[in-house]
Amino acid sequence: MSPSPLLELENLRVSFPTPKGRIEVVKGLSFTLGRERLGIVGESGSGKSMTGRALLRLVRTPGAQVADRMVFDGIDLQRLSERKMRELRGARISMIMQDPKFSLNPVMTIGAQIAEALKTHEKLARRDIRARVLEMLEAVRINDPERVMELYPHEVSGGMGQRVMIAMMLIPRPDLLIADEPTSALDVSVQAQVLDLIDELVRDKGMGLILISHDLNLVARYCDRILVMHAGEVVESCAAADLQNATHPYTRGLLAAVPRMEETRAELPTLDRSAWSGT
Amino acid sequence: MSAISLKNLDISYGTTKVVEGANIEVAAGESFALVGESGSGKSTILKAIAGLAPDWTGEITVLGEKRGHRVDHAFATRCQMVFQDPYGSLHPRKTVDAVLSEPLRIHGLPNRDARVLEMLAAVGLDQRFRFRYPHQLSGGQRQRVAIARALMLEPKVMLLDEPTSALDVSVQAEILNLLKKLRREQGLTYLMVTHNLPVVSFMCDRMAVMNKGRIVEIAPASALHDGSFTDPYTQSLYAASGGNPDRKDQ
Ligand SMILES: Nc1ncnc2c1ncn2[C@@H]1O[C@H](COP(=O)(O)OP(=O)(O)OP(=O)(O)O)[C@@H](O)[C@H]1O
Ligand SMILES: Nc1ncnc2c1ncn2[C@@H]1O[C@H](COP(=O)(O)OP(=O)(O)OP(=O)(O)O)[C@@H](O)[C@H]1O
Ligand SMILES: [Mg+2]
Ligand SMILES: [Mg+2]
């Protein structure tokens, strides 16, 4: 018998009330995840972030989520008490949110916030905590970690905020990392270094990864499998290596819209927005 | 005449100098990119031009007018900024409609309803988003609201900080096409921060490359075709971006 998967999701639905009644923004999503790297790509508003939030039971009211099955490492997430769920978040499943600065505490220094994340997971002496925080900031390629530790979130640049968020989510060594556009503010060289770090944790520590991104090349490079979402549904699912040969017209449209290094087109091709959906 | 001219610009936060000796001339109607290392001071330069990073020395001139050290409301009709972090820049308790019509109201401009609808359509947002609050939108939808807001006053100069980095490629394509069209039709000038070199290739005429608070190179965007950069940092950035896969012989 093969070992049970890290995560099983069946028929996830997320809905919001609107003036026209309840509308689903995630419409019956299912997948299983082993200790592997799953990429989710898709149009803006297609439900990628909501899927990530739902896995942590973080869909804000008046939104509602239901699933036939949502099991993480044998734990039925839907039946867990709110207190147990809180313990799980951050420690065993963590999520790098799409808006890093919004997710950071504005009145706490960067260093204190990362230390906090570490303390919920491990009991360490103060000096050791500081050393671990510095080490983590270096690992995400922050140049002068000593200075950055003392800064408040509004004092760091966009890309630094993103890396602080990544450091905070990785430091407790989660079993499953959900990364929502984790490197969208980073230049390619830093981006590659940060993703290599995440990759290392997947390989060496057996962490599972759900990587949400609009960057098709990046997802193809760092994932094993890819789901393409559109209007709350998966329209295509393929091995990362086969993305370039994707057949669904929507996926092909996405691939065509990527600008090239030697761009000669006066206009980029766009998708037919009359099919635009969501709530 | 230059639309934007920066001369010997130094910018500090408290005692830390984060930008040193920046010199840039952006011609009227030009689209100019600012690329480079994370934390190198790109956003800070845009903020100084917009009057949001007051601690600077040197000279900043926009459309022939010397800039002061703070926000200036008349200036806002000529020059608008799109911020890197759309969540932080949108008021959490204002609907999309309020955000978009407010600049028109402040400046006493007519046809607010029609303009709001027109602009929502231009950035690819359906009308049903009009009365939503920021937290009821996805990341990319918020970013499009921020872009729409900046366009409401029909400014001549746009400071764009990673305007499409939160967007999927299909929406990015729409926004870039829109920005390109506006520039062509209305002669807008763009100073645009991005880390995406192919976006520079599509959108911009020239680029300045920053590293550790300094501009290390200014090059035509066409240098991206063959990687003919002179500075080692730029060369490494280009290599890390994968070079130009369409020229296999390089
Ligand atoms: N409070 C809410 N009320 C109604 N609809 C909402 C609410 N919050 C989010 N939505 C809608 O849910 C849909 C899915 O949002 P989600 O954030 O998952 O998109 P996404 O795929 O992550 O997009 P992006 O790439 O732009 O971040 C969007 O169309 C959004 O407008
Ligand atoms: N309010 C502030 N107080 C103190 N330091 C700040 C403040 N804002 C920015 N800095 C510092 O200034 C430097 C440059 O930041 P800036 O936001 O301009 O970088 P950037 O080039 O836009 O980077 P990114 O690509 O990551 O967005 C960083 O080291 C940052 O920590
Ligand atoms: Mg999202
Ligand atoms: Mg920035």
- Specify the CATH number for the domain of residue A69: 3.40.50.300
Domain presence at residue A274: no
pLDDT digits (tens, 9 = 90+) for B192-237: 999 999 999 999 999 999 999 999 999 999 999 999 999 999 999 9
**pLDDT of the residue at A276:** 41
* Strand-by-strand arrangement of the B2-13 sheet: B16-27, B2-13, B56-62, B65-66
Do the Cβ atoms of B201 and A187 come within 8 Å? no
Nearest to B202 among A186, A259, A279 (CB): A259
Q: How far is the CA of B31 from the centre of ligand 4 (A)?
A: 18
User: pLDDT averaged over chain B?
Assistant: 92
Buried b (16+ CB within 10 A) or exposed e, B167-186: bbbbbbbbbbbbbbebbeee
Asked if residue B38 has its Cβ within 6 Å of ligand 2, the reply is yes
Asked if residue A228 has its Cβ within 6 Å of ligand 1, the reply is no
Task: Report d(CA B61, CA B76) in Å as an integer.
Answer: 14
Q: Which residues in chain B have their CB less than 8 angstroms from residue A101's CB?
A: 85, 87-88
Number of domains in chain A: 1
Interface check B129 vs A, CB under 8 A: no
pLDDT interval class at A278 (50, 70, 90): very low
Q: How far is the CA of B159 from the centre of ligand 4 (A)?
A: 12
Burial of A107 (0-12, 13-18, 19+ CB in 10 A): exposed
- Which residue is closest to A156 within chain B, CA to CA? B39
Domain presence at residue A270: no
Do the Cβ atoms of B140 and A156 come within 8 Å? no
pLDDT interval class at A62 (50, 70, 90): very high
pLDDT digits (tens, 9 = 90+) for A142-201: 989 999 999 999 999 989 999 999 999 999 899 999 999 998 888 888 888 999 999 998
Domains of chain B with CATH codes: 2-248 (3.40.50.300)
Ligand (nearest to CA of A22): 1
Asked if residue B131 has its Cβ within 6 Å of ligand 2, the reply is no
Q: Which residues in chain A have their CB less than 8 angstroms from residue B35's CB?
A: 187
Q: Where would I find the beta strands (DSSP E) of A19-88? A: 21-33, 37-42, 64-66, 69-72, 75-76
Yes or no: say if A70 and A8 are a contact pair by the CB < 8 Å rule: yes
Q: Which residues in chain B have their CB less than 8 angstroms from residue A60's CB?
A: 135
**pLDDT of the residue at A119:** 87
Query: What mean pLDDT comes out for the span A83-107?
Result: 88
Neighbouring-strand partners of residue B24: B6
Q: Picking from A100-104, A159-163, A222-226, which range would have the lowest pLDDT averaged per residue? A: A100-104
For ligand 2, atom 19, the nearest C-alpha belongs to B39
Which domain does A58 fall in, by range? Answer: 7-258
Yes or no: say if A48 and A33 are a contact pair by the CB < 8 Å rule: no
Peptide bond into A153 cis (omega under 30): no
Four-residue CA torsion sign, B82, B85, B86, B88: negative
Domain presence at residue A271: no
Q: Which residues in chain A have their CB less than 8 angstroms from residue B246's CB?
A: 260-262
> Does residue B248 have a pLDDT over 70?
no
User: pLDDT averaged over chain A?
Assistant: 90
> Does residue A2 have a pLDDT over 70?
no
> Does residue A275 have a pLDDT over 60?
no
pLDDT digits (tens, 9 = 90+) for B83-102: 887 667 788 899 999 999 99
Share of chain B above pLDDT 70, in %: 98
**pLDDT of the residue at B87:** 67
Four-residue CA torsion sign, A156, A158, A161, A166: negative
Residue, of B54 and A72, whose pLDDT is higher: A72
Do the Cβ atoms of B37 and A98 come within 8 Å? no
Report which of A141, A124, A123 is spatially closest to residue A186, judged by C-alpha positions. A141
Interface check B88 vs A, CB under 8 A: yes
pLDDT interval class at A103 (50, 70, 90): confident
Report strand pairing: B56-62 vs B2-13: antiparallel
Domain presence at residue A122: yes
pLDDT interval class at B250 (50, 70, 90): very low
- Judged by DSSP in three states, B64 sits in coil
Share of chain A above pLDDT 90, in %: 62
pLDDT digits (tens, 9 = 90+) for B60-87: 999 999 998 877 888 888 999 998 876 6
Interface check A61 vs B, CB under 8 A: no
> Does residue B143 have a pLDDT over 90?
no
**pLDDT of the residue at A273:** 52
Domain presence at residue A263: no
Q: Which residues in chain A have their CB less than 8 angstroms from residue B165's CB?
A: 184-185
Asked if residue A158 has its Cβ within 6 Å of ligand 2, the reply is yes
Question: How many Cβ pairs closer than 8 A exist between chain A and B?
Answer: 153
Yes or no: say if A41 and A222 are a contact pair by the CB < 8 Å rule: no
**pLDDT of the residue at A44:** 84
Question: Does the structure's ipTM exceed the value 0.90?
Answer: no
